[in-house]
Chains A and B, each alone.
Chain A
């Protein structure tokens, strides 16, 4: 079994988990869900770290690409989680009010 097929299995199974997890989210939470999920997609930063930190023979070019990738992904991750937290902090139940 090639690495691609193995990865494909993981991909498809993860998609199913995603569908199961998200399909029950109430409409009230759709915006935070979207921005939170968006922050998770910034996981690509892990790939960016490897590209930027690697020193190969032709490292200059890939390091610069890696740097921009880290920059973009960090904006996505930090901003995404923070703004989601800011939104969810505002969601209060009636009893919580002073």
Chain B
């Protein structure tokens, strides 16, 4: 579009574009900063979107761009697909959608590196620096692409959520990664060799598949965060290839963000990143206390009984888990909480960092049900409050309230930070049965004398409670 500008301005164009890129960078950084608080987050996201818009528009004035058919077609079709996906998705399916977008982002970065390489008639004119970053861009972008779609398949249930693995898979993965890095070295010396190029591309795509396949469903929040980080680094690499600072900076910001979230997730599950990637979890590892359940008694609660307890309580804490979202019970829950508040009961929500299927997922689901965000407390805020809570309602959560994590060093979840619901005066667990949760570990809280079980589907149970509250 540079032909629309006055001729006299053209010599200043490249620098002007760079300055405007700097402004776009400012919008990204400011936007991320505003994402730090729920009150300003929406504005922050919009600022980042404005930064993106500025970046795209000013790039169209780049003098290298002379044909627009492909650009217009790509933006129209891509924009339409993106908009429809964003409008249609159910909030429970957010992890899948983020995985998909992530995959497209990584794929686009790999394609940019590849396209830049292929548009040169004679690749030997590229500097070794550029060839290395091209190779790395294709590597990271491609593995993000396939890895994200495998993660999507696992979240969606197309691919078994269980850890699929066989002996030697880790060795194969590490071997392939080393092979790709060595091949990128060869590629730098001989960029005209097509075979090397295709092997790099093929192996990278394969690594994305084989490194996510063995990771179990419970670890998906970590994987999504990590892939998010990769997609940022891939964008940065694409920036190195085309010599564009805006890509390098924006990509690095995202890479850092993803890495921090990955760390937070790992800490919340008390597992190291290497353990998530190379060790599998769940399945037959089982809990040690599973055998002696027969002789323990369970106290059962009913809707009317529970309604009286909560209606006359002064403080009720609700601990929601993913089971709540599966049952689509968040709206009924909000109604129940509303009725309690009308009676002057103090209601708070305690949210474990890995509640839901991605970081912060439960908060979004409750926000969708109009629960104000200042009632949603994270683990460190809510744990001191359990001592003064009269009733804790645990709905669709299990492992994150299992005291075994504090008491039994032999347990697979030992050391995982949990919500200390056992400190409350009374707990009520909404659950279909006494079966153990994701990690396959029995929960002694079920048999605690302060605890009552409310068996049944979370939504039906809450509806019953909601109706019973009318008669109290």
Quick check: A92 and B373 within 8 Å, CB to CB? yes
CB distance from B256 to the nearest CB of A (A): 3
Interface string of A76-98 (1 = CB under 8 A from B): 11111111111111111110110
A residues 40-87 with Cβ under 8 Å of B? 40-59, 61-87
Task: Give the residue name and chain of the B residue nearest to A45 (CB).
Answer: B56
Q: A40-B250, A76-B105 are in contact. Are A47 and B228 (CB under 8 A)?
A: no
The 9 closest A-B pairs by CB, nearest first: A18-B256, A74-B78, A30-B360, A70-B74, A79-B82, A53-B65, A78-B82, A62-B119, A30-B359
Interface 0/1 of B101-132, CB less than 8 Å to A? 11011011101101110111100000101100
Point out the residue from A41, A58, A74 that lies within 8 Å of B82, measured CB to CB: A74
B236 and A11 contact, CB distance less than 8 A: yes
Given A69-B115, A92-B373, decide whether A45 and B65 contact each other with a Cβ distance below 8 A.
Answer: no
In contact, A34 and B239 (Cβ under 8 angstroms)? no
Given the complex, which residues of B lie within 8 Å of A40, measured CB to CB?
28, 31-32, 48, 52, 232, 250, 253-254
**Tally of chain A residues near chain B (CB < 8 A):** 88
The residue that B86 contacts in the complex, of A62, A82, A90, with Cβ under 8 A, is A82
Shortest CB distance B49–A (Å) = 4
Task: Write the B16-35 contact mask toward A (1 if CB under 8 angstroms, else 0).
Answer: 00000000000011011101
Instruction: Name the B residues within 8 Å of A55 (CB-CB).
Output: 66-67
Residues of A within 8 A of B (CB): 2-4, 7, 10-12, 14-19, 21-59, 61-94, 96-97
Chain B residues with CB below 8 A from A53, complex form: 60, 62, 64-68, 70-71
> A33-B257, A51-B115, A62-B118 given as contacts; is B35 within 8 A of A72 (CB)?
no
A79-B82, A80-B101 as given contacts; A3 in contact with B129, CB under 8 Å: yes
Interface string of B205-243 (1 = CB under 8 A from A): 000000000000000000011001001101110111111
* CB < 8 Å neighbour of B56 from A37, A49, A59, A82: A49
Minimum C-beta distance from A68 to chain B (A): 6
Q: List 16 A-B contacts (CB under 8 A).
A: A18-B255, A25-B35, A28-B351, A31-B358, A43-B55, A45-B56, A48-B74, A49-B65, A52-B70, A64-B70, A66-B74, A72-B107, A78-B78, A79-B82, A82-B82, A83-B85
Q: Is B98 positioned at the interface, with any CB of A under 8 Å from its CB?
A: yes
Mark B residues whose CB is within 8 Å of A: 28-29, 31-33, 35-39, 41-42, 44-46, 48-49, 52, 55-56, 59-60, 62, 64-68, 70-71, 73-75, 77-79, 81-83, 85-87, 89, 91, 94, 97-98, 101-102, 104-105, 107-109, 111-112, 114-116, 118-121, 127, 129-130, 133, 224-225, 228, 231-232, 234-236, 238-261, 264, 351, 353, 356, 358-361, 363-364, 367-368, 370, 372-376, 378-379
Closest to B250 in A: A43
A35–B82 CB distance below 8 A = no
**B228 A17 Cβ-Cβ under 8 A:** no
Bound form: Cα–Cα A25–B253 in Å: 14
Chain A residues, CB < 8 A from B31: 36, 40
Which residues does chain B contribute within 8 Å of A88, judged by CB atoms? 41-42, 45
CB distance from B293 to the nearest CB of A (A): 33
Q: Whole-angstrom distance between the alpha carbons of A30 and B75 in the complex?
A: 28
| Distance of A57 Cα from B121 Cα, bound (Å) | 7
Complex alpha-carbon distance, A73 and B102, angstroms: 10
Find out whether the CB atom of A32 lies under 8 angstroms from the CB atom of B35: yes
Most B C-beta atoms less than 10 A away, residue of A10, A19, A52, A57: A52
Q: How far is the CA of A96 from the CA of B248 in the complex (A)?
A: 39
Which of A19, A34, A48 has its CB near the most chain B CB atoms (within 10 A)? A34
B45 touching A28, Cβ below 8 Å: no
Given the complex of chains A and B, what is the CA–CA distance between A25 and B33 in angstroms? 9
Q: A57-B121, A70-B74 are known contacts. Are A41 and B375 too (CB-CB below 8 A)?
A: no
CA separation between A29 and B112, bound complex, in Å?
31
